[in-house]
Structure 1
Amino acid sequence: MGPFRRSQVGSIVLLALVAAVLLRPWERLDGGKSEPASARAYVLRAVDGDTIEVRLEGRDEDVRYIGVDTPETVKPDTPVQCFGERASHFDHRLVEHRRVRLVFGVERRDVYGRLLAYVYLGRRFVNAELVRRGLARTLTIPPNDHFAKYFKRLETGAARAGTGLWSACEP
């Protein structure tokens, strides 16, 4: 094997190792002792723009999208906010009565007991789609901040383009 071929093989091995390290979030969170870091679920309903109710392993669970915050529509004692209905409607149309993949955050539940997850419908990254379309703002709460910079870039793009809530709502 020539030096060029050895270099190519070495590069492929290095790339495979880097990919394995980057894909670690898909593993179990604590060496297999806890629930998996991702799961498939059936969406029973969209509660609002950033919360869904799912059937997960025989249980009904509320899931809060990590990293995004849509305008309020169902919060008690709070008026419906600008673009809230549109965000809720989009979420309803996109994921309701469909199977999704939930990728859980480092912190799995919020103070309300909801699961915290990045939500995927096939290859569509729902959390990101909401921000890109101007239906949500970013909301970064460590330690669940894996996509914070990505979401911020999407938010900046939506704001500059005057997309969604950036076209009609007060900041």
Structure 2
Amino acid sequence: MSAPRARHRTPARSRLPRPAVAALVTAVALVVPVVAGCSPPSGPHAVPSEVREPTVVEVVDGDTVVVRVGRVDEHVRLIGVDTPETKHPSKPVECFGREASAFTRAVLPPGTVVRLERDVEERDPYGRLLAYVWRQPDGVFVNRELAEQGYAAPLTIPPNVAHADELVAAATRARERSAGLWGACGGPGVPAR
């Protein structure tokens, strides 16, 4: 009769192989910002679509939308553009503001899946998430479309300047064509009649 074989027991604290550790660290780096309601930066600052699908809940005005990010509804301020005011607490409704809001509602109706891209700063002084917004799956760059069609003037606030040249060029083309607020109002900042 042979002696019973000793059972090999794995120590309670075993080490994970290095590739497994790297994969775990990457997963945590992607999930933690999602739970916190912001996007993890990656090439350049884009949110991988496989992590989540941010979805439009409502349009507040021309340059602010509510997006469901994970389980959180985030007010998202579109970076680099400024549409005429419609809901500012201390400013009157501005010329072409209602049209800009209607355009954004048409481009981003509730349920639209979007891709959000951050720049340097995560939030504005009002707590809104700052982002460049692409409509999915067709990839329309909403910030640029607002400027190109004359619904927004460029608004460059450093350090958030990743797409500043592109947005200024789009607004310049709209102004040269007298599109939108440039033709109807003569430019931004004009009170509605």
Q: TM-score range by the shorter chain?
A: 0.7 to 0.9
Structure with the higher helix share, 1 or 2: 1
Taking only aligned residues, the RMSD between alpha carbons, in angstroms, comes to: 1.6
What TM-score do the two structures reach when normalised by structure 2? 0.69
| Corresponding position: 1:170 with 2:186 | yes
Deviation per residue, 1:104-126 (Å, 9 max, x gap): 12101011110000000021000
| 1:94 has 2:110 as partner | no
**For 1:156, what is the secondary structure of its paired residue?**
helix
In 2, distance between residues paired with 1:93 and 1:152? Answer: 23
Match of 1:77 among 87, 90, 98: 90
Residues 117-156 of structure 1: pairs in structure 2 closer than 5 A: 117-122=131-136, 123-156=139-172
Q: Which residue of structure 2 lines up, in the alignment, with residue 54 of structure 1?
A: 67
Local SS of the residue matching 1:129: helix
In structure 1, the partner of 2:79 is: 66
1:52-100 deviation digits (Å, cap 9, x = unpaired) = 0111110111000000000000111322101100100011111121111
Q: Which has the higher strand share?
A: 1
Which residue among 126, 130, 148 is the counterpart of 1:112? 126
Structure 1 residue ranges, 4+ long, deviating more than 2 angstroms after superposition: 32-35, 37-40
Unaligned runs of 5+ in 1: 1-27
CA distance in 1, matches of 2:160, 2:62: 19
AA of the residue aligned to 2:78: Y
The number of residues matched between the two structures is: 141
**Equivalent-residue separation in structure 2 for 1:150 and 1:83 (angstroms):** 22
| 1:26-45 Cα shifts (integer Å, max 9, x gaps) | xx9xxx48731334311110
CA distance in 2, matches of 1:147, 1:104: 11
Q: 2:117: which partner in 1?
A: 103
Letter in 1 for 2:90: D
| Separation in 2, partners of 1:82, 1:69 | 13
Higher Rg? 2
Q: What residue is the counterpart of 1:13 in the other structure?
A: none
